[in-house]
Amino acid sequence: MTSESAPIFARGVRKHFPGSERPALDGVDLTVRAGRVCALLGGNGAGKTTMIRILTTLTRADEGVVRVAGWDVRAEGTRVRASIGLVGQYAALDEVLSARENLELFGRLAGLDRRRARERAGELLGTAGLQEVGRRPVGSFSGGMRRRLDLATSLITIPAVLFIDEPTTGLDPQARRELWSSVRALTAAGTTVLLTTQYLDEADALADDVVILREGRVIAEGTPGDLKKLVGEPRMELREPTLEDVYMHLHEGVAAS
């Protein structure tokens, strides 16, 4: 497979928003191979969400070549949208409807007939581990349950490429682990995943490849193992304890007692 035929291919992507002092993206190159998880890592304002929006046809790049699932995002946007799933930063769910009703609604919007939409909803409730709460209104769900349901809605048509923007922001550790398991199951089934995150442990746990953005530019890329080697060998540092160390030690001792 050549780079340009990869499920996600971008070269020289630039985007500048009016009124901003610097470009949101300044010549970004990105290639994600089939069946892999790639993490776009960076702090707020690094350009992660802008890149996702360009790849999913929601925003148009000022410059650059961008192909997703083999289609040009500028000239063949309809074909791109038919080939991908997108999980945004905030769950796009109807809180009055039940989990099952939300999934059936998304199935109908995706073009499934009533019977197939009902069947697919049942399948995805199982995949998301939400069978027992499928009849409950989404407004009663925890953050982790909502996020898993949001992920399930993006899988109605089993996309070739899935984009997930900040998948676990605000979730507790248990909910994060459950969502990670869902993402791993997707890639095991052949879906290519690009996710954005600010969490180093999330990229380390999930990603086959990591691309680090800073101020709209790629400053490092490689496997998690490759990037760890850039830091150097493990070392031990000895220093005098500070008052903060003493306070934390005493605080932990009181809490334990």
Q: In the beta sheet, which residues pair with residue 86?
A: 163
Tell me what pLDDT residue 243 has: 60
Return the sign of the alpha-carbon dihedral for residues 55, 59, 60, 62: negative
The tens digit of pLDDT for each residue in 118-175 reads 999 999 998 888 999 999 999 999 888 888 898 888 888 888 999 998 877 777 787 7
Structure tokens at 204: 């380390």
Instruction: Write the single-letter amino acid at 33.
Output: R
Could you give all domains of the chain from N- to C-terminal order, each with its CATH number?
A: 3-256 (3.40.50.300)
User: For residue 185, what are the contacts with CB-CB under 8 A and spacing of at least 6?
Assistant: 127
The tens digit of pLDDT for each residue in 28-76 reads 999 999 999 999 998 889 999 999 999 999 999 999 999 999 999 999 9
> Which residue stretches of the chain are H helix?
48-55, 77-83, 99-109, 114-127, 143-153, 173-188, 200-206, 224-229, 243-256
Enclosing H/E stretch for 214:
strand 209-214
Tell me what pLDDT residue 4 has: 73
- Burial of residue 206 (number of CB atoms within 10 Å: 0-12, 13-18, 19+): buried
Question: pTM for this one?
Answer: 0.80
| 55 vs 204, more confident | 55
The tens digit of pLDDT for each residue in 167-203 reads 777 777 877 887 788 888 888 888 999 999 888 888 8
DSSP sequence for 88-139 = -SS----SSSBHHHHHHHHHHHTT--HHHHHHHHHHHHHHTT-GGGTTSBGG
What value does the mean pLDDT take over residues 205-221?
A: 93
Q: Which residue has the tokens 């109908």?
A: 108
